[in-house]
Amino acid sequence: MSANQKQKQTSCKVCGKSSWHIIETLLSGIWDRSQVVLRRKVIFFPIGRCKHCHHVQVTINYTKEIFEALYFSNQVEPNMWCDTPQGQKSPYEEMFDFIQPCIEDGAHIVDFGAGAGTTLKYIDNYCKEYSPTLTSVDFHNHVQSETIKHISGDLNELEIIRRKFDETPISLAISTHVLEHVIEPVNFLSEITKMITDNGNIFIEVPDCSPDANMNNLEFTNLIHGQHIHYYSKESLAQIVKLAGLKIVKQQQLTTGNIPRLLLLLKKSNSNIQHSVIPIENNASKSVTKRFNDYSNYQESLFKKIQQALKKDKTIGLWGIGGDFYLLTQKYPELIHWITSNKVTLYDYELAGHVFYNSKIICSSEIKQAKHPVILLPMYGPTREKMKELSINWGANVTVPC
């Protein structure tokens, strides 16, 4: 049993109640690579709908131990988007179009959770005539820019760095794909509100779990992820915005690489009205349920393809020994039997040399010399795209299941 299974349920971060209807439980974790033989450190994340206000979130406390396990790699930022097809706008271009009217001469623009700083760098390239002051705030400095100032800070404790903006209040605050990761979203937005000018703007983007969002191919997205504490719909996010003392001035729904996106531009509400929490009718439950169902259906389809491949060839290869691979072995133990009987060869770049059920994992660069067919396992779109491109360059016999 994982340590976090023993924890008490946390409170709803919208209404403060602690009564949940569990929708599904995400099985996540990381490989323990301290020994040659791989062991999986499993973490269970129950995703629930609050019985009082109907907000959807993970129902356990996120401890320091869990955060360290989930954010174990601080060296590089993960691939968030697939490559943009020629002739189409990238997600960052679409973000820029959304916020460009807010960028004025001498603007102070701060990105909370800037990551690699792609959004700020885009603004830096296209808004030089406005001479903006650009600042990134994040746990680690991945921006590495001479024109962008960096402030190290815990995004769950913004009150600690608030004083840094007393003399230079923010005219445009940005926080894209961050609000789903923070523990207290209302407090997060409230703290940013205290740092912006009276007429300042806040731009946020989150994965869109609204009932009317695009729900095609959710199994290939990271919509459901251990790092995602909260699952937002337009209605739930609107309530959080009000509780933080803000109002929505512009809203847009987009889809990129099967990932449904919700973009909001916010301002201070300048109202002394105390907003009460009301039940969120159009919440994230439908999207969360559909993603789990789609993922399970794809697992079944993938396993059948592996079965069919083994009927045609004595041995096959499986490429990508990550979370999707582990979950597949848990759902279909027969796969472990094929691995131990040497019918299946495992390939992975980072895990090469380690052993899983007496099978030594081969470096994925060796796939180009493989005589047997190889099936690509990871489901996340950007990861699949990069691996597919590699296999084409290698001229390897790699199957990418649809």
pLDDT tens digits, one per residue of 277-318: 999 999 999 999 999 999 999 999 999 999 999 999 899 999
10 Å CB burial of residue 232 (0-12, 13-18, 19+) is: buried
Instruction: Indicate if the pLDDT at residue 131 is higher than 80.
Output: yes
Instruction: Indicate if the pLDDT at residue 138 is higher than 90.
Output: yes
Q: Distance of CA 41 to CAs 4, 33, 135, 321, 333, Å?
A: 12, 10, 36, 14, 18
- The answer to whether 245 and 269 are in contact (CB under 8 A) is yes
Whole-angstrom distance, CA of residue 223 vs CA of residue 56: 13
Q: Which fold, 313-399? A: Rossmann fold (3.40.50)
Let me know if the fold of 91-291 is the same as that of 313-399.
yes
Quick one: pLDDT at residue 72?
Answer: 65
Quick one: pLDDT at residue 4?
Answer: 44
pTM above 0.85, yes or no: yes
Listed residue (312, 374, 313) closest to 348, CA to CA: 374
Quick one: pLDDT at residue 69?
Answer: 87
Quick one: pLDDT at residue 87?
Answer: 84
CATH architecture of the region 91-291: 3-Layer(aba) Sandwich (3.40)
- The answer to whether 109 and 170 are in contact (CB under 8 A) is yes
pLDDT in tens, 329-344: 999 999 999 999 999 9
Ranking 77-86, 142-151, 260-269 by mean pLDDT, the lowest is 77-86
Please state, for a pLDDT cut of 70, what percent of the chain lies above it.
96
Quick one: pLDDT at residue 77?
Answer: 56
Please state, for a pLDDT cut of 90, what percent of the chain lies above it.
86
The average pLDDT across 235-255 equals 97
pLDDT in tens, 371-402: 999 999 999 999 999 999 999 999 888 998 87
Ranking 65-74, 247-256, 282-291, 366-375 by mean pLDDT, the lowest is 65-74
Quick one: pLDDT at residue 313?
Answer: 87
pLDDT in tens, 176-222: 999 999 999 999 999 999 999 999 999 999 999 999 999 999 999 99
Q: Band of the pLDDT at 83, cuts 50, 70, 90? A: confident
H or E element that contains 300: helix 285-312
Quick one: pLDDT at residue 148?
Answer: 96
Quick one: pLDDT at residue 3?
Answer: 44
Q: Where do the domains of the chain lie?
A: 3-64, 91-291, 313-399
Strand partners, 46: 25
